[in-house]
A and B are shown apart, each in its own frame.
Chain A
């Protein structure tokens, strides 16, 4: 007896069709699953048999062979339990079953009592099913209803195996629940008004978000780097439908979306001891890494110099191409990774170099070695540098002054983003400008050109950093609603590239040596 039933699988964050063949024949009792199943799929055997039994069906001893086709693609996930169990029941059924097996896909993990549990990766699978017309309807666990709803495909939910089998035999109807409680993202982000002072850093964040520039904050412990970093999402525009979809797909694959939809921009803060694979993705059972979990959001690398050299190196490609391709023995998987990089660092190993009140205990060599980590190709991709320092005396802070709220800052940010949409025609930002685009969009007046030249001579900036200064000025000009880059925009931009300035650190070495 042979049964065919449809299901879905996913690779990376894309779904594909899986046709399940179930054959039951006489012979020594055995149960094998073929079609490159991963360990979690192989375990389906025990779950399926027990669930069938506990659903009230008798299962005689037979030789059962299940084939998951296409057989050359690896299968992973626990969602094959339901279709496999159904296939067995159908194959054993004496009555002929009239059901449109070509049109309906089944997904679900089985508990030992036959009930259906939620699974990973539902959204990517259903999105692909809808876009590529892999099937017209799906039966999914009720726990995954919100994701299914978001995919737009026709779906039905079921609670247990027997329910679904009855449905197939035409004896019951399954329903589509209405989604009332969407995982809400009206929870407020932490607000910038909660940070006292730090105008330099706040302004830097405003510019960074507006032009999608990466940013690094350097300062002693307690200067507010983490606090400010966490508030960056509060001035980012809300995610578009497309962005919500992409991000949820990624989270769905690792089960971090709590079966719901991700509507808040991700904010990922991996610890500096993280392995390269955990950071960028991959591994023997490939998973998206932190950079993909930060897709459409912020990746915050606190204590940047403490990250391993190889982890930092691994960031190079995704920062450039906005995706990451992980290769395994037989195939490659690509995960998207478009994120804003926010890094923070201490000015020296002890953290107090340049602190107004505390003394730095480091030797010049220690400082030099530590700051050397702040150089190289990664720093090259961080446009904005900010030095932060606690205000020297508390009484210099105007306590009664109301700090600007995130929504105020956001008003300006969104205008700048609109300008860039019109300039580039789509989802591109100033930070991504090529050299030709810089030449085209960042023309300087004579006055500004003179200033630029004197900067290069007097203050020791290289030609490379000049490009970055121009990009930043472009964003500052956008924030000011100005078509031209004026002198004041250019001058302000210089102060966001302090790491480039020739001498500052060297003068300190000569003194101490």
Chain B
């Protein structure tokens, strides 16, 4: 991987790697401030007593910090990254994402697999690891459509909603970024190793703050959510209970002054508790991708591929036989119908109903769900 943009020299990078390896265990504000003031990580490894600090109590902490950091093998870390083609962007580099500079606790380093497009407009879509069928359908549809319009989809590679939105974005041939809670070596969850490969080979990016071999420790995950929130202009919460990870990401977005959006759900559905509360507290109610587009700052709209969106709409206008069209419209109107109900409402004999359903099923317009048929959205 060639470092084409202006980057700090290797020695300084190695120092930063060492510093980062310990910084990830706690808040990074003070370390970050010091780095920016001196623009040189090596100051940590010279005399800590010479550093100008906002607060003397910090000095002892930093001394301990430096002691731990010096033991880290930055040399092998660099080698591993080079072998795998992982790029490292530090907070002192020119191409460090702007948005990250302004948030509380910015990451010292970012390990990047694939291509991170700074200027592309991106939205984060997050949600529960155990979504309902409702959440699955809407998450995939919204992600697919937004990705096809040219909007990047950022998420956390977790099971459930995250995986769905990454996959839908890829299906649309779009751009997606996964921010993970472990080092590049130990992708979590393990079944998403394939997804990581696919994201990178399709031009997307997989990003982590964590050193190469760091395992997916529990506290890594809430922490990485601040990066997810930061890299996008808005965070959309699909489903999640009150104190779920998705809600943590929403809180970060608020803290960072970003837009928060939510997919409303049934009041009886626990998984919609989070989004519903967000909406009550002022988040934007999102029903579909169009609702999201309306919230994009006009300055960024020129990027989008609205033409492609129309293509998708037109593709859906498949030609149907007369009876099948009648049944399709009926299903869309009533929600879900059994074959009998369709027969009753249309007065078609049951044999004809099945012929039409077959046509609709094979054309991907209708799917069976628990002995009833409903429209594929």
State in angstroms the CA–CA spacing of A392 and B336 once bound together. 10
B351 lies within 8 A of chain A by Cβ? yes
B281 lies within 8 A of chain A by Cβ? no
Taking a contact as CB atoms closer than 8 A, the residue among A198, A201, A488 that contacts B355 in the complex is: A488
Across the interface, do A203 and B368 meet the contact criterion of CB distance under 8 Å?
Answer: no
Set of chain B residues within 8 Å of A398, measured between Cβ atoms: 344, 347
Q: A389-B338, A396-B344, A398-B344 are in contact. Are A492 and B368 (CB under 8 A)?
A: no
B329 lies within 8 A of chain A by Cβ? no
Set of chain B residues within 8 Å of A488, measured between Cβ atoms: 351, 355
Taking a contact as CB atoms closer than 8 A, the residue among B337, B343, B358 that contacts A199 in the complex is: B343
Query: Could you give, for residues 463-502 of chain A, a 1 whenever the CB lies within 8 Å of some chain B CB and a 0 otherwise?
Result: 0000000000000100000000000100110110010010
Set of chain B residues within 8 Å of A331, measured between Cβ atoms: none
Across the interface, do A501 and B341 meet the contact criterion of CB distance under 8 Å?
Answer: no
Smallest CB separation, B206 vs chain A (Å) = 25
Across the interface, do A495 and B354 meet the contact criterion of CB distance under 8 Å?
Answer: yes
Q: A353-B370, A389-B371, A511-B132 are in contact. Are A396 and B341 (CB under 8 A)?
A: yes
Set of chain A residues within 8 Å of B341, measured between Cβ atoms: 391-392, 396
Across the interface, do A199 and B370 meet the contact criterion of CB distance under 8 Å?
Answer: no
Across the interface, do A494 and B339 meet the contact criterion of CB distance under 8 Å?
Answer: no
Across the interface, do A492 and B351 meet the contact criterion of CB distance under 8 Å?
Answer: yes
Across the interface, do A199 and B340 meet the contact criterion of CB distance under 8 Å?
Answer: yes
Across the interface, do B370 and A203 meet the contact criterion of CB distance under 8 Å?
Answer: no
Set of chain B residues within 8 Å of A199, measured between Cβ atoms: 339-340, 343-344, 349-350
A387 lies within 8 A of chain B by Cβ? yes
State in angstroms the CA–CA spacing of A54 and B136 once bound together. 88
Contacts of A191-209 to chain B: CB distance below 8 A:
197-201, 203
State in angstroms the CA–CA spacing of A458 and B354 once bound together. 17
Closest to B358 in A: A491
Smallest CB separation, A121 vs chain B (Å) = 46
A454 lies within 8 A of chain B by Cβ? yes
Set of chain B residues within 8 Å of A507, measured between Cβ atoms: 133, 369
B246 lies within 8 A of chain A by Cβ? no
Set of chain A residues within 8 Å of B369, measured between Cβ atoms: 504, 507
In this complex, the member of B133, B349, B368 whose beta carbon has the largest number of chain A beta carbons within 10 angstroms is: B368
Set of chain B residues within 8 Å of A396, measured between Cβ atoms: 341, 344-345
Contacts of A133-185 to chain B: CB distance below 8 A:
none
Across the interface, do A203 and B350 meet the contact criterion of CB distance under 8 Å?
Answer: yes
Q: A501-B368, A511-B132 are in contact. Are A491 and B355 (CB under 8 A)?
A: yes
Q: A200-B340, A391-B341 are in contact. Are A511 and B133 (CB under 8 A)?
A: yes
Taking a contact as CB atoms closer than 8 A, the residue among B336, B340, B357, B370 that contacts A198 in the complex is: B340
Chain B interface category by residue count: 20 to 34
Across the interface, do A391 and B354 meet the contact criterion of CB distance under 8 Å?
Answer: no
B362 lies within 8 A of chain A by Cβ? yes
B79 lies within 8 A of chain A by Cβ? no
B372 lies within 8 A of chain A by Cβ? yes
Across the interface, do B344 and A391 meet the contact criterion of CB distance under 8 Å?
Answer: yes
State in angstroms the CA–CA spacing of A492 and B351 once bound together. 6
Contacts of A364-397 to chain B: CB distance below 8 A:
387-389, 391-392, 396-397
Contacts of B64-98 to chain A: CB distance below 8 A:
none
B130 lies within 8 A of chain A by Cβ? yes
Contacts of B309-341 to chain A: CB distance below 8 A:
336-341
Smallest CB separation, A449 vs chain B (Å) = 15
Closest to B345 in A: A396
Set of chain B residues within 8 Å of A504, measured between Cβ atoms: 368-370
State in angstroms the CA–CA spacing of A494 and B339 once bound together. 13
A427 lies within 8 A of chain B by Cβ? no
Taking a contact as CB atoms closer than 8 A, the residue among A197, A491, A501 that contacts B344 in the complex is: A197
A354 lies within 8 A of chain B by Cβ? yes
Q: A197-B344, A198-B340 are in contact. Are A495 and B357 (CB under 8 A)?
A: yes
Q: A353-B370, A504-B368 are in contact. Are A492 and B340 (CB under 8 A)?
A: no
Set of chain B residues within 8 Å of A187, measured between Cβ atoms: none
Closest to A220 in B: B371
State in angstroms the CA–CA spacing of A374 and B354 once bound together. 24
Smallest CB separation, A349 vs chain B (Å) = 16
A222 lies within 8 A of chain B by Cβ? no
A98 lies within 8 A of chain B by Cβ? no
Across the interface, do A354 and B344 meet the contact criterion of CB distance under 8 Å?
Answer: no
Across the interface, do A458 and B133 meet the contact criterion of CB distance under 8 Å?
Answer: no
State in angstroms the CA–CA spacing of A197 and B341 once bound together. 8
State in angstroms the CA–CA spacing of A353 and B371 once bound together. 10
Closest to A360 in B: B370
Contacts of B105-160 to chain A: CB distance below 8 A:
130-133, 136
Set of chain A residues within 8 Å of B362, measured between Cβ atoms: 454, 458
Set of chain A residues within 8 Å of B355, measured between Cβ atoms: 488, 491-492
Set of chain A residues within 8 Å of B336, measured between Cβ atoms: 356
Across the interface, do B371 and A387 meet the contact criterion of CB distance under 8 Å?
Answer: yes
Smallest CB separation, A153 vs chain B (Å) = 50
In this complex, the member of B336, B338, B343, B347 whose beta carbon has the largest number of chain A beta carbons within 10 angstroms is: B338
Q: List 25 A-B contacts (CB under 8 A).
A: A197-B340, A199-B340, A200-B338, A200-B350, A203-B350, A347-B371, A354-B371, A356-B336, A356-B338, A387-B371, A388-B340, A389-B371, A389-B372, A391-B338, A392-B341, A396-B344, A398-B347, A476-B351, A491-B355, A494-B358, A495-B358, A501-B368, A504-B370, A508-B370, A513-B130
Supply 19 further A-B pairs (C-beta < 8 A) apart from A391-B340, A488-B355: A197-B340, A199-B343, A199-B350, A200-B343, A200-B350, A354-B370, A356-B336, A356-B338, A388-B340, A391-B344, A392-B337, A488-B351, A492-B354, A492-B355, A495-B354, A504-B369, A507-B369, A511-B132, A511-B136
Q: Identify the B interface with A (CB < 8 A).
A: 130-133, 136, 336-341, 343-345, 347, 349-351, 354-355, 357-358, 362, 368-372
Q: Identify the A interface with B (CB < 8 A).
A: 197-201, 203, 347, 353-354, 356, 387-389, 391-392, 396-398, 454, 458, 476, 488, 491-492, 494-495, 498, 501, 504, 507-508, 511, 513
Top 9 nearest A-B pairs (CB, nearest first) are A354-B370, A199-B350, A387-B371, A491-B358, A495-B354, A354-B371, A199-B343, A203-B350, A492-B354
